[in-house]
Structure 1
Amino acid sequence: MAEVETPEELLIKQHRKEKKDLQAKIQSMKNAVPKNDKKRRKQLTEEIAKLEADLNQKHEEEFQQLQSAADKDVEEAVNGVTALKVEAGEQEEAKQPRVTKAQKRRDKKAAQEKERESRIAEAEVQNLQGVRHQEGLKLAQILAQKSLQIKEISSDGHCMYRAVEDQLGQRSKSGLSFIELRSRTAEHMRNNSDNFLPFLSNPTTGEMFTADEFEKYCSEVEHTAAWGGQLELRALTHVLRLPIEVIQADSPAIKIGEEYNTEPITLVYMHHAYGLGEHYNSVEPLKNPANAEES
């Protein structure tokens, strides 16, 4: 007996077909424009970026509508059995085995992680029509001019270092992991404290970090998932002896380490990637560049 497809599976299948149809349309558009017509090819790149962004927005809205309907069904079901759960709760509680302290700690950690994931998912949905979507659209257009696109990096506190790791890997520049990049960043900051201490202050007193506070800061850079910022990027340019370019949606690109006269590695800084804070992504070559003159 054939399995019945769920609404989610049907929607995913529909989205795949629409993406396939769009790619066919894009290929037809590219074939219609001569490769030596640079102006038209540039316009075509922007048109393609908008078509893809519009389709992504449509798919996000449809998924949101499906999720809302599913949430409503779940809420009705929960309301229908609440009274039964309350009545059976006391009997069930008496049967439950005693929970150890270790198990309680594990349960608490799991609940905190689930809550964090829930907040991220909620922030994603809330931003579909807001600043996150607009920022993504602007970045797609900026990167398309460079024949680049965003390469997503996980949001785990290590995103800046993971993005640098990815950029180096694309160049086969080094085998440095994000953990090693953290360690070398902290080491450089410790060895050159005079260049970093003036920019760090105690949030309570407003005074410049003491030696102990600075060491704690460097230790967090090295051993925790503390988010990286411009100071750490500055340290990384010296560690790698490479300039780093940071592209943003609403501000000019920032280049750090310009004293190193080589091709920079490129990161994307997103102010509204998640409701929980800013985020760094890497970049990669545009998969279907309309202005690929050498293809």
Structure 2
Amino acid sequence: MEELETTEELLVKQHRKEKKDLQAKIQSMKNAVPKNDKKRRKQLTEEIARLEADLSQKHEEEVRQLKSTTDTKVEEVVNGVESIQVEGEEQEDAKQPRVTKAQKRRDKKAAQEKERESRIAEAEVQNLQGVRHQEGLKLAQKLAQQKLQIKEISSDGHCMYRAIEDQLAQRSQPGLTMSVKELRSRTAEHMRSHADDFLPFLTNPNTGDMYTTDEFEKYCSDVEHTAAWGGQLELRALTQVLRLPIEVIQADSPAIKIGEEYDSEPITLVYMRHAYGLGEHYNTVEQLKDPANGEES
């Protein structure tokens, strides 16, 4: 088992080195392209996203290959140990030297360190294979094509409204800046005054029946006064409140566009299914920055 753990740790170290080498290569590529050459900078951004995706795919394949051989090697090691024990058990007992207390302490410390390294290596492997990592990678590639990147929003139940608040602030248009509280209030107010447009899409989860008037009012009250999570109904209401289209980018599906009847630059949100332990989450976006100097590319 010790040999298998060492192999896994070596693979993780190799992956770390390859990531570091790729970052150095990317830095060199960026230095070779003038900042004012927008066409080449856009091509460079797409090429960097491709290189990072290729490396991630290579690492995943190497991890799968390592795991596919694990069971066979473990069986060989275990069978070999059992054979040695059966054939030479009495001789080993006779030759076994007495272990001092100091040696036992050293052995225990070494075993603990070995276990710690193994846990770190396993965490690295799980991260490479994790759906959260893959979702983030796909989103980064999609956004890079638009010269955008994710801007993190806190996960507190208000994430959709906070993301829209941030998008409005980035526009710096008079009369469009709104707080989360105001966005929630305006959303609830619009839904109440256009009940026929929203009520048919709300059903009681226990009975499957369409919401009653009282249930709909409770729903709107939660939108306005609590941290109730927002979804497509609330986004539809917000496009009509703001008179702006909203585009929602996803990793594994085409972008959702709401409010296309409005001829303006859309508010762009990122929808993540695996961002946090509870799952679904909205982030906002910002202009893609050059990691070399923190400036927009």
Q: TM-score range by the shorter chain?
A: 0.5 to 0.7
2:222 pairs with one of 213, 220, 223? 220
Q: How does 1:204-283 map to 2 (within 5 A)?
A: 204-283=206-285
Letter aligned with residue 135 of structure 1: E
Give the aligned partner of residue 89 of structure 1. Answer: none
Give the aligned partner of residue 184 of structure 1. Answer: 186
Measured in 1, the distance between the counterparts of 2:186 and 2:166 equals: 16
Measured in 1, the distance between the counterparts of 2:126 and 2:228 equals: 26
Q: How does 1:83-98 map to 2 (within 5 A)?
A: none
Unaligned runs of 5+ in 1: 1-17, 59-68, 74-124
Measured in 2, the distance between the counterparts of 1:29 and 1:22 equals: 10
Letter aligned with residue 241 of structure 2: V
Q: How does 1:42-191 map to 2 (within 5 A)?
A: 42-49=42-49, 129-173=129-173, 174-191=176-193
Secondary structure of the structure 1 residue equivalent to 2:248:
strand
Secondary structure of the structure 1 residue equivalent to 2:188:
helix
Letter aligned with residue 227 of structure 2: A
- Could you tell me how far 1:182 is from its partner in structure 2? 0.6
2:42 and 2:147 in contact (8 A); partners too: no
Letter aligned with residue 282 of structure 1: T
Higher relative contact order (CA 8 A, sep 6+): 1
- Could you tell me how far 1:131 is from its partner in structure 2? 1.0
Q: 1:197 to 1:28 in 2, by over 3 A?
A: same
Secondary structure of the structure 2 residue equivalent to 1:196:
helix
Measured in 2, the distance between the counterparts of 1:169 and 1:30 equals: 30
Scaled by the length of structure 2, what TM-score is found?
0.63
1:45 and 1:289 in contact (8 A); partners too: no
Give the aligned partner of residue 80 of structure 1. Answer: none
Measured in 2, the distance between the counterparts of 1:127 and 1:280 equals: 21
- Could you tell me how far 1:266 is from its partner in structure 2? 0.3
Unaligned runs of 5+ in 2: 1-17, 60-111, 117-124
1:244 and 1:264 in contact (8 A); partners too: yes
1:50 and 1:137 in contact (8 A); partners too: no
Measured in 2, the distance between the counterparts of 1:19 and 1:187 equals: 50
Measured in 1, the distance between the counterparts of 2:199 and 2:192 equals: 10
- Could you tell me how far 1:46 is from its partner in structure 2? 2.7
Give the aligned partner of residue 78 of structure 1. Answer: none
- Could you tell me how far 1:47 is from its partner in structure 2? 3.3
Greater Rg over alpha carbons, structure: 2
RMSD: 3.6
Measured in 1, the distance between the counterparts of 2:127 and 2:31 equals: 35
- Could you tell me how far 1:27 is from its partner in structure 2? 4.2
Q: 1:289 to 1:241 in 2, by over 3 A?
A: farther
- Could you tell me how far 1:45 is from its partner in structure 2? 1.2
- Could you tell me how far 1:271 is from its partner in structure 2? 1.1
- Could you tell me how far 1:23 is from its partner in structure 2? 6.7
2:153 and 2:283 in contact (8 A); partners too: yes
Letter aligned with residue 131 of structure 1: V
- Could you tell me how far 1:179 is from its partner in structure 2? 1.2
- Could you tell me how far 1:42 is from its partner in structure 2? 4.5
Q: Deviations over 1:101-142 (max 9, x none)?
A: xxxxxxxxxxxxxxxxxxxxxxxx966631111111011010
Secondary structure of the structure 2 residue equivalent to 1:176:
coil
Q: 1:232 to 1:270 in 2, by over 3 A?
A: same
Measured in 1, the distance between the counterparts of 2:204 and 2:214 equals: 12
